[in-house]
Structure 1
């Protein structure tokens, strides 16, 4: 495409937007409203994924050792566990530390454990973290087959439920965003169709004097892209501002009360900007192309 043609398309697009201010504002408003809804669900998707990743990273395997092992044997077991495929880390927890941690977790009721220091019923153990929580069953079986292992616990039922819930939330959220995107394209195409209808005589004249379909379609395509970009920029600004204050409120007012925090603002802003700008261009361009098909008789 020639530079002169590109300049012509850009000039005609800007002229059309300015000349049809009311319809242009309606199109921008429709894009903005659609992207606000999509953006809200996108923020939910991002936070669900962030929450799921955090929960999955907290999945641990507790390995209890038989009593009376020497430091050398404990070191060998740790080395063997760390050598297993999928194991991220393996931290040793002595029976004394386990009793101390348990006592601290009881708070005011820690007196119930008084006198157990000399006859500690707990065992030395390892806390094993994984690269992928789905590997827990295989890693557990491998550890159980080792020598000097008393018991291995990883919460099989809880892990399976966690993986099922996080999968459902991720897939469900993405499906909703996809449906909203299709609905948005339909709404925008109908809005832009009114603009195209108002210019049907202009299009007819251009076709009559021999203009090709792509030459007629070009300014409308670029116009749709510009309207989509404007609408997406406004929606990004509104959503980013809203999320910033909500995240700050949650951090300030709920500090210490929430186990899981919201996704950091900068990460949300980055994903939101890239996604909504892309959605805005797609919605605007598709809406324009769908709207003008009838008048081009393509």
Structure 2
């Protein structure tokens, strides 16, 4: 569409928009609902991924230390651990810390410790957090094979001195991997379905004006000149639909999500603002693509020579 045709296309698009407002309203509602569902699912997927990430971040390695290990050897290995790749934090848990954690688990745990007449059999340990929890197995293996670690653990039981809930962690990452894949597939499927519905709606709108297109062709109008108003109208409808979808998503973000978050504070539902802005920009961009290509594809059969 040439720039010289832009003014004409805008005037004609607005004229058609007002004259056929029921058809235009149907297209806008279809676009709004389609983009809103996509946007809602993208935001929902972001919340699920955030929750999954929070669960994954709880994965830690516990490296238990022999009671005979010297403080200097323990400190030296801690410094070494902190310099490793994929290790984000290393905290040292004393025997007293271990006792407090154990007795805080239940009343029976307190009774068990009391029956030991003041003895504390629980070992000291390192609690290790990682930048990438999915690499927990590799990091645990590296600890087990480290010569400095072997100096501060029970020589007869090095393997069992490093624990991270192997089976549970494997199941966790398997489940979260499937959940992320399912989210991607569902977003792609919803996008495809939305494109089909929107294209059909625009096609019906253009079909209703096929005689107008035929008359313009008979008087010698070029394909680009004919397409201009229809493409412009399709883009206007798509942008309005996208803005309505964004408005409803903003209302949900500001009014409903904070209330739900307050009711289930144990689960993180709030996403950073920039993720919402990226979603909104994507909806507008997708709306523009739908308006443009939907009109072009729908008009193709009426512009064939």
Tell me if TM exceeds 0.5: yes
Aligned to 1:149, what secondary structure does the other structure show? coil
Q: Tell which deviates more after alignment, 117-126 or 19-28.
A: 117-126
Give the corresponding residue for 2:85: 85
The alpha carbon displacement at 1:2 in A equals: 5.3
Q: How many residues align?
A: 295
Q: What is the root-mean-square deviation of aligned Cα atoms in Å? A: 2.3
Q: Distance in 1 between matches of 2:47 and 2:145?
A: 39
The alpha carbon displacement at 1:11 in A equals: 2.7
The alpha carbon displacement at 1:119 in A equals: 1.8
Q: Tell which deviates more after alignment, 158-167 or 211-220.
A: 211-220
C-alpha offsets along residues 208-255 of structure 1, whole Å, 9 cap, x if unaligned?
A: 333332332233222222211111111222233234433222233334
Q: Distance in 2 between matches of 1:77 and 1:65?
A: 11
Give the corresponding residue for 1:235: 245
Give the corresponding residue for 1:95: 95
Give the corresponding residue for 2:255: 245
- Whether the 8 Å contact between 1:221 and 1:285 is mirrored in structure 2 is yes
Q: Distance in 2 between matches of 1:108 and 1:4?
A: 84
Give the corresponding residue for 1:149: 153
Change (3 A) 1:19 1:116: farther
Q: Tell which deviates more after alignment, 153-162 or 23-32.
A: 153-162
Q: Distance in 2 between matches of 1:129 and 1:265?
A: 24
The alpha carbon displacement at 1:266 in A equals: 3.3
Give the corresponding residue for 1:47: 47
TM superposition outliers: structure 1 runs of 4+ over 6 Å: none
C-alpha offsets along residues 35-58 of structure 1, whole Å, 9 cap, x if unaligned?
A: 232233222211121112212222
- Whether the 8 Å contact between 1:244 and 1:265 is mirrored in structure 2 is no
- Whether the 8 Å contact between 1:93 and 1:127 is mirrored in structure 2 is yes
- Whether the 8 Å contact between 2:90 and 2:128 is mirrored in structure 1 is yes
Of 201, 212, 219, the residue aligned with 2:222 is 212
Give the corresponding residue for 2:157: none
Q: Distance in 2 between matches of 1:42 and 1:143?
A: 39
C-alpha offsets along residues 102-144 of structure 1, whole Å, 9 cap, x if unaligned?
A: 2223268634423658421111111111111221111111100
- Whether the 8 Å contact between 1:67 and 1:124 is mirrored in structure 2 is yes
TM-score, reference length from structure 2: 0.87
- Residue 177 of structure 1 pairs with residue 184 of structure 2: no
Aligned to 2:215, what secondary structure does the other structure show? helix
Change (3 A) 1:75 1:207: same
Give the corresponding residue for 2:284: 277
Q: Distance in 1 between matches of 2:144 and 2:197?
A: 59
TM-score, reference length from structure 1: 0.89
Give the corresponding residue for 1:192: 202
Aligned to 2:104, what secondary structure does the other structure show? helix
C-alpha offsets along residues 259-287 of structure 1, whole Å, 9 cap, x if unaligned?
A: x2213373563243123223322332232
* Structure 1 unaligned regions, length at least 5: none
Change (3 A) 1:16 1:94: same
Give the corresponding residue for 2:136: 136
- Whether the 8 Å contact between 1:64 and 1:123 is mirrored in structure 2 is yes
The alpha carbon displacement at 1:99 in A equals: 1.0
The alpha carbon displacement at 1:196 in A equals: 1.0
